[in-house]
Amino acid sequence: MQKILHLFTRKNIKRLLLASILVLFCAMAATAQSSSEGSSFPEGSTRGNTSMSERITGIDFPNVTFSATSPRSGKEVAFSVQLLLLLSLLTLAPSLLILVTCFLRFSIVLDFIKRALSLQQVPPTAVLNGIALFMTLFCMWPTFKSMYDNAFKPLSNNEITIEEAFDKAEAPVRIFMYRQLDGDHSYVRTFMSMAKLNKPKNFSEVPTYILVPSYILHELTVAFKIGIMLYIPFIVIDMVVASILMSMGMMMLPPVQISMPFKLMLFVLVDGWGLLTQQLFQSVVG
């Protein structure tokens, strides 16, 4: 304690004050000398520059403006209506891709096989939909190519009008849907009678708004028929396993838990995915 008090004597305090003033004076002198000479610290370093080089130019952002004007002629009105119809068609494009192609059949059959195998999470629904999508592109590629060659390409080259392009793009899809009906015109007759239209003499007299719902119901019927046929062998396995468990007195054990490995082994041994894909392709193209 005495040593600490000895440090704070008047003489020592004066010495500390003088030393602090001397250090502060030296620091101010060094700063003034550095600013007068114009040199930066450390010695030999390059002076910083915040100005941008003249060779570097900024990014030019375009001005986006929207304006509404009154049409001056009938052509401008027709173009506005065509543009509105085109935007509406693009909005409905995903639904059209699902309903007027073979995607509907593929997705339903794949979901049936997943349920028949008693699988809950594997494969995920997104994977099954992706498989159905690429199988649809594979089967529908000739139709899409015909639409591109006969409708989109001439329209982009200003060789045909948008009305002609729509008719040429609609024709391959109508032919595809009519071929998938495979002579079953019951749904066509049903919708024709509900619309109170006369009996058509040939395929060209069937309106598109009649053909599309007829094709959708036909695809649902075909997909469910295929799904039921796929379900039957797996139901037999479930029944056999359930009867065996009941005869052994294991009524508390879920039969699905025992039958699922046997169904998976059967499906893998017969190359189920390959056979299913081949038969679905043949049902559409063949």
For 121-137, how does the pLDDT look when each residue is reduced to its tens digit (9 = 90+)? 778 888 888 888 898 88
Look at 62-76, 153-167, 235-249 and tell me which has the smallest mean pLDDT: 62-76
**DSSP three-state, residue 9:** coil
Residue 115 in this model has a pLDDT that exceeds 70: yes
Q: Give me the amino acid identity at 165.
A: A
Residues in the chain: 286
Measured at the CA of 33, the angle between CA 29 and CA 36, to 5 degrees, comes to 140
Residue of higher predicted confidence among 31 and 22: 22
Residue of higher predicted confidence among 9 and 204: 204
pLDDT band at 11 (very low <50, low <70, confident <90, very high): low
The pLDDT of residue 206 is: 83
Torsion of CA 108, 110, 111, 117, to 10 degrees: 140
> Within 13 A of 79's CA, how many CA atoms are on the CB side?
7
Measured at the CA of 81, the angle between CA 77 and CA 87, to 5 degrees, comes to 145
Residue 2 in this model has a pLDDT that exceeds 60: no
The string of pLDDT tens digits covering residues 193-229 is 888 888 877 787 888 888 888 899 999 998 999 888 8
**The whole model's pTM is what?**
0.66
Residue of higher predicted confidence among 158 and 139: 139
The string of pLDDT tens digits covering residues 260-272 is 888 888 888 888 8
Residue of higher predicted confidence among 183 and 98: 98
Residue 1 in this model has a pLDDT that exceeds 70: no
Most confident of 3-17, 64-78, 131-145: 131-145
The pLDDT of residue 39 is: 47
Residue of higher predicted confidence among 30 and 269: 269
Residue 138 in this model has a pLDDT that exceeds 80: yes
Give the mean model confidence (pLDDT) for residues 44-72: 61
Give the mean model confidence (pLDDT) for residues 70-78: 57
Q: How many other CB atoms are there within 10 angstroms of residue 1's CB atom?
A: 5
Residue 46 in this model has a pLDDT that exceeds 70: no
Residue 38 in this model has a pLDDT that exceeds 60: no
How confident is the prediction for the chain on average, in pLDDT? 76
Give the mean model confidence (pLDDT) for residues 83-98: 76
Give the residue from 89, 92, 132 showing the smallest Cα distance to 114.
132
Give the mean model confidence (pLDDT) for residues 135-151: 87
Percent with pLDDT over 90 in the chain: 1
In angstroms, the CA 278 to CA 208 distance is 30
Looking up tokens 């025992």 gives 258
pLDDT band at 54 (very low <50, low <70, confident <90, very high): low
Q: At 167, phi and psi to the nearest 5? A: -65, -40
Look at 7-16, 35-44, 164-173, 272-281 and tell me which has the smallest mean pLDDT: 35-44
The token pair at 196 is 């109170």
226 with 110: CB under 8 angstroms?
no
